Chain A
Amino acid sequence: MIPFSYCYDWGVLDEKARQVAMAEFAANGAKHIVLTSNLLEKISGEPKLYLKLRQEARNAGLSFVDSHMPFNFETDIALPVEEWRPQMLARMKFNLELIHDYGVDTCCFHICSRYFKEFPMARHLDAARRSLEELLPVAEQLGVVICLENIFQPCNTVDDVLTLIGEFPSPWLGACFDVGHAHLMEHGMHVPDCIVPSHWEGVCEVPWEHDVLDRMLPHIVNCHLHDNNADLDTHTIPGLGSIKWPEVIAKLRTAPRLKNMQSEVIPLRRNGLPIRAVVESFNRILE
């Protein structure tokens, strides 16, 4: 059975609130939580958390499945600013070590969260290539699969993800299928005020996509499940948006490399969605 893991916006919680949220997940039947980018940043900045966090999860009866590498500006594999790259690589190697120590064997990476308009796209993708050359041996040594995520921003298209995976044929490199992002790129062109075009301004026309799940299917190792209405990246509960969930889940069940599934609903971003509502919504679509 494929483990199902829950993301949460841990970054805004203090220690007590974190323990309460973990207990809440467990009380509602969750078994696993995601080692999120927020948690990895916290462990990086607070060495004591390295042992404490694992103990907190154990106390709640939870374990960590799947992870998300910190992202943005200083932490993108496509970072084209040469002088910042050594810290980015050292940061990611350290995070891969933490991920391994937490018993997690998959980690989602954004290729490019911050596109530098002063550099051409090819320069970003070349930087991503060089990062993977350096990070893949570390991931292999630690037994962690690097999963490249499809996003609706430059350098994160399905083409970009599949190109990089094709260039590095390795069991330690795969895809993270983000259903919400796929929905935006497949249907956003028909939706007024869709957020996608704003991310491509000054770069090129939006390369709207189709059949994202079908194209990524052979390479999908983990997935981010959340809903939206193809306008904003709301990360809300399945059923509150316009994604056709039975179709998505049926296809995902046939993904040959799939190791885990993740709720990437972000409860606090949506005015405090109850954990119970999140867990129940996934129980429904996975039935």
Chain B
Amino acid sequence: MDLDRLPLTYCFEWDDVDERSRRQIFAEFAANGAKHLVLTDGLLKKLAGEPAMYRKLPAELAAAGLSLVDAHAPYRGECDLWLPVAEYRRQMIARHRFHLQLIHDLGVKTCTFHVGNLPYPGYPLEAYRDAARRSLEALLPVAEKLDVTICLENLYKPLNLPGAIVGFIGEFRSEHLGACFDAGHANILGRGGAYTEGTAYNSYGSMGFKPVWDDTVLDQLLPHIVTCHLHDNRILRDDHDLPGTGTVDWDTVLAKLRTAPRLRCLQSEVKPVRNHIPVSRLCAAFARLLAAPSKKSGTLNK
């Protein structure tokens, strides 16, 4: 599969961006050749909290000549699929049902979900797993009706590991459930064993586990990958930096992604604001990354 035939979509940290600046940044992406943006969790929260955005956002995007491809559901705490606290679960499910409707209405077909982020002291791992399963049971029929594919993302905490994700996908066997391969997170999980500190250690530690290092994330998820998050890091932290600035083996990642049978889009999950990256540099980096292998070889991984 030619990756450059798949839509490439860009994430941005919209949370603290006002309306004027948002339009300016949309124009900046378009001027640098971008065609698609991600309906990020930040934009979804804005849409949920500001009803007027429901009409405004499509108009702003159309004015810039951009469209939305791929989405990311809000996550952490009150939004976690694995939320085990019975009394909070109904709002979580209703919230995600509402988000799925917004995603559908904005013409987006894929949405990444974290299985879970925040630990809830006192609950065994099985309670989290059961809660995540029940969340998928409640949300998948909605996703099917709206034709949105729920994509579970690999992170470093238990139940966000590739084995658990493949397990959920196998249990439900739905074309509206797949995986979101996160290249940066896979890099941390694959190479973090050489260190005794960093994001993965802290993440596991918060749930009382020791990290389970695994350098086969992409291989395990490959048959199920529907979307992917492309960004780089130097293993210790989840930098979300430009491809080529960290230790991700991009040649291998892209070669394997070309064989992913369900892959529908590519996403830059570089965080430009966090890393002080101009949109022009971001778009140029992805143009280089996705250029023909012969041109690209040796330029990113040193």
Chain A interface (Cβ < 8 Å from any Cβ of B): 41-42, 44-48, 50-51, 70, 72-75, 83-84, 86-87, 90-91, 93-94, 97-98, 100-101
Contact = CB atoms under 8 A, between A and B. Distances in A.
Interface in B84-111: 87-88, 90-91, 94-95, 97-98, 101-102, 104-105
Contact of B45 (A45, A72, A93, A98): A45
Contact of A41 (B49, B76, B98): B49
A70 B104 CA distance: 21
Main secondary structure of the interface of A (DSSP, over half): helix
B77 A47 contact: yes
A94 B95 contact: yes
A153 to B, nearest CB: 18
B79 interface: yes
A207 B90 CA distance: 42
A97 B90 contact: yes
A87 B49 contact: no
Interface string B32-72: 00000000000001101111101100000000000000000
Interface residues of B, number: 26
B49 A45 contact: yes
A74 B52 contact: yes
Contacts of A75: 51
B51 A74 contact: yes
Contacts of A101: 87-88, 90-91
28 contacts: A44-B95, A44-B98, A45-B46, A45-B48, A45-B49, A46-B49, A47-B45, A47-B76, A47-B79, A50-B78, A50-B88, A51-B78, A51-B88, A70-B51, A72-B52, A73-B55, A74-B55, A84-B54, A86-B104, A87-B102, A90-B97, A90-B102, A91-B48, A94-B91, A94-B98, A97-B91, A98-B94, A101-B88
Contacts of A97: 90-91, 94
A194 B88 CA distance: 46
A42 B46 CA distance: 9
A45 B76 CA distance: 14
Contacts of A51: 77-78, 88
Contacts of B98: 44, 87, 90-91, 93-94
Main secondary structure of the interface of B (DSSP, over half): helix
B116 interface: no
B184 interface: no
A79 to B, nearest CB: 11
Contacts of B94: 93-94, 97-98
B153 to A, nearest CB: 18
B77 to A, nearest CB: 6
A41 B79 contact: no
B97 A87 contact: no
A211 to B, nearest CB: 34
A98 B91 CA distance: 6
A47 B74 contact: yes
Contacts of B50: 41, 45
B87 A93 contact: no
Nearest to B80: A47
Nearest to A89: B101
A251 B142 CA distance: 47
B97 A91 contact: no
Given A94-B95, A94-B98, A83 B105 contact: yes
A87 B58 CA distance: 14
Given A48-B78, A73-B51, 20 more contacts: A44-B49, A44-B95, A47-B74, A47-B79, A47-B95, A50-B88, A73-B52, A73-B55, A74-B54, A75-B51, A87-B54, A87-B98, A87-B105, A91-B48, A91-B51, A93-B97, A94-B94, A94-B97, A97-B94, A98-B94
Contacts of A94: 91, 94-95, 97-98
B124 to A, nearest CB: 22
Contacts of A74: 51-52, 54-55
A23 B274 CA distance: 37
Of B77, B90, B91, which is in contact with the most chain A CB atoms at under 10 Å from its CB? B91
A72 B91 contact: no
Contacts of B105: 83-84, 86-87
A37 to B, nearest CB: 10
A84 B79 CA distance: 24
Question: Which 4 A-B pairs have CB atoms at the shortest separation, nearest pair first?
Answer: A45-B49, A90-B101, A97-B94, A47-B78
A114 to B, nearest CB: 11
